[in-house]
Amino acid sequence: MKNKQNLFNLTRFELSDFFSKLGEKSYRTKQFMQWVYHQHELDFNQMLNFSKELRQKLQQVSTLELPVVTTQNFASDGLIKWLVDLGGDNHIEMVYIPEKDRGTLCISSQVGCSLACTFCSTGMQGFNRNLSTAEIIAQVVIANQYLNDKGKKISNVVFMGMGEPLLNEKAVYNACDLLLDDLAFGLSRRRVTISTSGVVPALYRMADTVPVSLAISLHAPDNQLRDELVPINQKYPIKELMDACRYYLNAGTQERHILFEYVMLDGVNDTVEHAKKLAKLLGGISAKVNLIPFNPFPKTKYKTSKTFTIKKFQDVLFHFGVRTMTRRTRGEDIDGACGQLAGKVIDKTGRTTNDRRH
């Protein structure tokens, strides 16, 4: 049968509907999810509490297909980066970041990115397409397969890899459902984070739809500079973005916070005056700022802010009562650091072709 249903695409509700259409009882959904997500069993024939007839039927109409891992690289600091082949000469990257008290998996939501943030290697690669729910979840499954054998586990998942998650809402929200579902990955809502450059209409929808943590790629405290660094700001300027952030904080019944990401670019956005503007912008918001030393990539025009400049910037934020941390750069030796993920993208935007002309 052509076009088999990849069951990694389906949430618990959708799986229930799938089994119902096969004439099966609702409890099959729970059994199936336990096999796949708890026992890590992807062979229908090994799901022994299913009848032989059901196992054969599943083989005929469905699959649990995972993309192929092209390379797996290990950084000197323990970080692991996978390059995953999605076919059509397109590849994505994902990164596992081990820490003392957690293991964070940074996953991609698109092949490339259409937003063209000027300091980001992914943005310079252009854009090809959105990932399916199955392709997003596959990244977690692939990482789990490797880490389980090593006695390690994923405690946090962040949508901070390639792509803008809020330009791929349905697949990302479905993936979040599975990440939070106790029958799947069972992560708490505070351990799943969607990072966005500021797709304002989608931010409102996310606030009401998915109870996960939010990170905002801010990188500048005013419109003039942010228009240059994060071009989507030209469509959704800072005031609109901050209004959406306030809406997110007040949506739902549980307390929420926002992480504002701010890449430190030497002589561009790292002065004391920038810090004061940022503190004023975030006044009264339940927020934390993550200062990210810029990670260079080929042909970039930017340089990393000096250590003492970052420290001075942080001190200004502390002075105004803004909770702040500086991210420790990880995985630089395998281009696995923030802003360095590039994969391999067949660009459909014409951006890379245009770049070669100049």
pLDDT of amino acid 329: 62
Per-domain residue ranges of the chain: 5-63, 68-357
Q: Among the listed ranges 26-30, 53-57, 123-127, 164-168, which one has the minimum average pLDDT value?
A: 123-127
Strands 68-74 and 127-130: what pairing? unpaired
Catalytic residue among 93, 164, 169, 261: 93
Q: Whole-model pTM? A: 0.89
pLDDT of amino acid 339: 46
Catalytic residue among 106, 117, 245, 338: 338
**Cα 355 from Cα 239, distance rounded (Å):** 31
pLDDT band at 332 (very low <50, low <70, confident <90, very high): low
**Cα 107 from Cα 355, distance rounded (Å):** 27
135 catalytic residue (yes or no)? no
Assigned CATH for 68-357: 3.20.20.70
pLDDT band at 197 (very low <50, low <70, confident <90, very high): very high
Q: How many C-alpha atoms does 179 have within 13 Å on its Cβ side?
A: 32
* Span 20-55, pLDDT tens digits: 999 999 999 999 999 999 999 999 999 999 999 999
Q: Which fold has domain 5-63?
A: DNA polymerase; domain 1 (1.10.150)
Question: Residue 258's beta-bridge partner residues?
Answer: 214, 287
C-beta of residue 109 within 8 angstroms of C-beta of residue 131: yes
**Cα 181 from Cα 178, distance rounded (Å):** 5
**Cα–Cα nearest to 338, from 122, 145, 179, 148:** 122
338 catalytic residue (yes or no)? yes
Tokens (6 digits) for 313: 């910037």
Task: Please report the beta strands in 9-99, taking only residues with DSSP state E, as ranges in sequence order.
Answer: 62-63, 68-74, 80-85, 91-98
Amino acid residing at 241: L
Residue 342 clears pLDDT 80, i.e. is over it: no
